Amino acid sequence: MSEIKKVVLAYSGGLDTSVIVRWLQDTYGCEVVTFTADLGQGEEVEPARAKAQALGVKEIFIEDLREEFVRDFVFPMFRANTVYEGEYLLGTSIARPLIAKKLIDIANQTGADAISHGATGKGNDQVRFELGAYALKPGVHVIAPWREWDLNSREKLLAYCRERDIPVEMKKGKSPYSMDANLLHISYEGMVLEDPWAEAEEDMWRWSVSPEKAPDTPTYIELTYQKGDIVAIDGQTMKAHEILAHLNKVGGDNGIGRLDIVENRYVGMKSRGCYETPGGTIMLKGHRAIESITLDREVAHLKDSLMPRYAEVIYNGYWWSPEREALQALIDQTQTYVNGVVRLKLYKGNVDVVGRKSEDSLFDEKIATFEEDQGAYDQKDAEGFIKLNALRLRIAASKGRKL
């Protein structure tokens, strides 16, 4: 019936992807290979193995990708101080290119004809998964069940499970929201959040206390940077994923990293979502602080002008694109001298920079001082500088031109 003999599925072990396993078997008569990624989502991934086996899956891949995720995807993104639409730290977006890469790797390894995912036809993730897959394997066949089947509600999915004896774990007290989590963030969508006027319920948040309930005493931390990446916290060297996990804990304990936004999806609609990104919020503040004393002014301004474009590239799913690689090369080159230590104060939802130092600092106290500078800067030079910069304004004004 079908030319598809084997499919690699991005598999979480939840309701949707469990249904997809059986649906692929029924619809395409194919063998299904499952791939489950541990990106630090905070839940055990190993139970997915038993669930896949119960569905007749013989080739099951479960990989711990936490270090690769933070080192090769999160850190490069934060070198650019990346923020989408002024607020979103791209926690979901940055995980998708790694998953796409692994799907293609496993497809090549197992000789699969296609890959599949559980992203819906309304969201960004379908674009991100598939753009990544096509960039890495141009001829790959992609199966997106949500664009093919009519199981468009939880009730229909559960009925499908009953008809085909698919075991579904019904957890008491499970969050009603559509959630995505990894080491960088946890997101919440759906239910009451579909009304942009409705305030998120306090018991929804999982990683952070509310700022009102955060400690009354501030927490101080010191971040050590090498070439734009954090390599140590409070003098203790850590791996990339350990750094982010530590910052998530200390940030969440201090009520840091909550976000409630309406964003513009790539497919055209607006979407309201809530995010917890405690570690990323701290990382962004710290990185801008160390750059403030180590980057040349024009380089810093150039980076800031390119950042919105770089953010769109990642948000829209073009990590594996020539434009992202070109931007990354420029960004990484700027980080050569972004070395030093930043001291931060965490207090009731706020991250304040209270100190920064670097052997590569361009801050010259002798020039910047308000006290006697012993001739390091001749203030008379400013007069000519101002007149030259005002020349075009004076000429236009003399001609009677109005602003």
Q: Which residues, other chains included, contact 209 with Cβ-Cβ below 8 Å and sequence gap of 6+?
A: 252, 253, 254, 255
pLDDT at 15: 86
Q: Which of 22, 66, 96, 258 is catalytic?
A: 96
Strands (E), 134-289: 141-143, 178-181, 186-189, 219-226, 229-233, 236-237, 258-264, 270-276
Q: Which of 38, 125, 180, 229 is catalytic?
A: 125
Mapping DSSP to helix (H, G, I), strand (E, B) and coil, where does residue 77 land?
Answer: helix
Active-site residue, 178 included = yes
pLDDT at 298: 98
- Phi, psi (5° rounding) for residue 396? -60, -40
Cβ-contact 256, 208 below 8 angstroms: yes
Please, where in the chain does CATH 3.40.50.620 lie?
6-66+90-163
Active-site residue, 153 included = no
Strands (E), 251-335: 258-264, 270-276
CATH assignment, 178-295+337-357: 3.90.1260.10
DSSP letter assigned to residue 274: E
Strands (E), 265-363: 270-276, 340-347, 350-357
pLDDT at 1: 46
> Would you write out the chain's pLDDT as a tens digit for each of its 403 residues?
468 999 999 999 888 999 999 999 999 999 999 999 999 998 888 889 999 999 999 999 999 999 999 999 999 999 999 999 999 999 999 999 999 999 999 999 999 999 999 999 999 999 999 999 999 999 999 999 999 999 888 789 889 998 988 877 655 445 668 889 999 999 999 889 999 999 999 999 999 999 999 999 999 999 999 999 999 999 999 999 999 999 999 999 999 999 999 999 999 999 999 999 999 999 999 999 999 999 999 999 999 999 999 999 999 999 999 999 999 999 999 999 999 999 999 999 999 999 999 999 999 988 888 888 888 888 999 999 999 999 999 999 999 998 7
Please, where in the chain does CATH 3.90.1260.10 lie?
178-295+337-357
Among the residues of 187-238, which ranges form H helices? none
Active-site residue, 16 included = yes
Q: Which of 178, 271, 292, 321 is catalytic?
A: 178
Taking the C-alpha atoms of residue 212 and residue 116, their distance in angstroms, rounded to an integer, is 44
Mapping DSSP to helix (H, G, I), strand (E, B) and coil, where does residue 336 land?
Answer: coil
Q: Which residues pair with 36 in a beta bridge?
A: 62
Cβ-contact 143, 112 below 8 angstroms: no
- Global pTM reads 0.94
Taking the C-alpha atoms of residue 311 and residue 182, their distance in angstroms, rounded to an integer, is 19
pLDDT at 175: 60
Active-site residue, 195 included = no
> What's the CATH superfamily of 6-66+90-163?
HUPs (3.40.50.620)
